[in-house]
Amino acid sequence: MPARRRSTFRPPVPEPGGMREESSAEKEPKHRADRIGNRRPAPGGTRRSARRWTALTSATAIVGVSAFGAISASAEPTGDPGMAYAQHASDAPLAPVADAISAAVAADPGPTITSGLSVAQAPFTGGTQVTVAGAQLDEVAQVSVGGAPAAIVEAAADHLTFAVPATAGTSLGDVAVTFADASGAPADVELPGVAATAGTSPSAAATASAPAAATAPAAAAVAPVSAEAAAADALTLTYTTDPGIDAQVGYVLAYWSSYNAAQYPVIDGYDCANFASQSLIARGWTMDGAWYYDAATGATSPSWTSSTAMRDWLLGRPDLATPLEDAQRDLVKVGDIAQFDWDGSGDRDHTAVVTRVEHTAAGTKVWVGGHTKDADYWDVDTALATGGGSVHYFSLS
């Protein structure tokens, strides 16, 4: 039997402190998200908005750098740098970290209204300019009056002026005025002495006494609103009637089928411009050398009786009228003049008075009244569908 060979294997000698077996966790490959060495988990352990986290870390970094600077400046060399850092870190007056972080992440307050409306009442015909004062008002991108968009005339940091839109003559009374930024977020209203309800964003300012059709004063002239007035009338504008327009439309509705032959001549076959001129006298307009009717002689100017001549006269009177195309129908208001070109020749073939305007989600509807086509409420769209051609308007002052 051959001799058994002696093994030369020698078990390793344990180092001082004993041997340690690797745990099963250590034998497995590490996941990328596991903490390895000095790698730390994501801040907060949850998803945060980039904006908030950036502001938070920036504020913390600023405070940390400031504190570190104070430590470095006050620390004296010692044999143990770590001890020096610990000593001075406990003694140095650190900046108010919480305040700095709060300031860094505080949300932009956005536009804020701090005054009442410069005009309390406006005629339903629209056009009245209203001013409010406040902060960051140059960020206001949308103004709404009674749900209808209002044109912004001027937007500065401390004041904003808008034009009241026209509404139907039947939609009178108080309506809400709202302000919003480009994203649609409503502007806050913070009137002195009036506390806003938590969680709500008041959308307009209180009313202030002013003439119905007055142009808004500069922002510095906006009258302050008492707490009592603001609490009672905040966030509203009052639509009122216009006596002149009431009289004009009232005349049309009174004589559209029963001609006023006792006061004015009747022109057979083309009495439309003659009748529209009569309504303007009822509105309060005054005759001049270019537009007249002489009751003593029966003489009339071409602009009084001819639709085309009336157009040319009104185009030369920007103080009285502004021409509008049908694409601008949303600017048309009750009492305005509508003129039709049935054959596309460029002349005006028919003149009528706007007796009703209705703003809807689908667009603006207009009705007219007049002679020749005797009507009190003739739908403009129906007129175009049956007569063809095009319609044009004059927005009257």
Specify if 268 maps to a domain: yes
Q: Are 125 and 228 members of one domain?
A: yes
Q: Which of 240, 268, 295 is the last residue of a domain?
A: 240
Tell me, what's the pLDDT at 236?
84
- 130 & 256 share domain: no
Q: Max CA-CA distance within the chain? A: 160
Q: Are residues 307 and 385 in the same domain?
A: yes
Please check whether residues 281 and 351 belong to one and the same domain. yes
| Same-domain pairing of 174 and 61 | no
Q: Does residue 5 sit within a domain?
A: no
Final residue of a domain: which of 105, 132, 151?
105
Residues 200, 77 within the same domain = no
Q: Are 378 and 369 in contact (CB under 8 A)?
A: yes
Domain boundary among 240, 266, 299: 240
| Domain identity same for 251 and 300 | yes
Range of the domain at 361: 243-396
Domain count across the chain:
3
Q: Is residue 10 part of a domain?
A: no
| 88 shares a domain with 53 | yes
In a domain, 14, yes or no: no
- Classify the C-alpha dihedral 272-273-274-279 as positive or negative: positive
Note down pLDDT in tens along the chain; length 397 residues.
Answer: 555 555 555 555 555 555 455 444 444 444 444 444 444 343 433 333 333 344 444 444 444 444 444 444 444 555 555 444 444 544 555 555 556 555 544 567 889 999 989 988 888 877 788 999 999 999 999 999 988 899 999 999 999 999 998 777 667 899 999 999 999 999 888 887 654 433 333 433 333 333 333 333 444 444 444 444 433 334 789 998 889 999 999 999 999 999 999 999 999 999 999 999 999 999 999 999 999 999 999 999 999 999 999 999 999 999 999 999 999 998 898 999 999 999 999 999 999 999 998 888 888 999 999 999 999 999 999 999 998 999 999 999 8
Q: 101-125 pLDDT, tens per residue?
A: 555 445 678 899 999 899 888 888 7
**Per-residue model confidence as pLDDT tens digits over 142-179:** 999 988 899 999 999 999 999 998 777 667 899 999 99
Residue 181 sits in a domain whose CATH number is: 2.60.40.10
223 and 261 in a single domain? The answer is no
Q: Same domain, yes or no, for 94 and 119?
A: no
Q: What's the confidence (pLDDT) of residue 166?
A: 77
Residue 25 lies in a domain: no
Q: Which two tokens stand for residue 242?
A: 């216009």
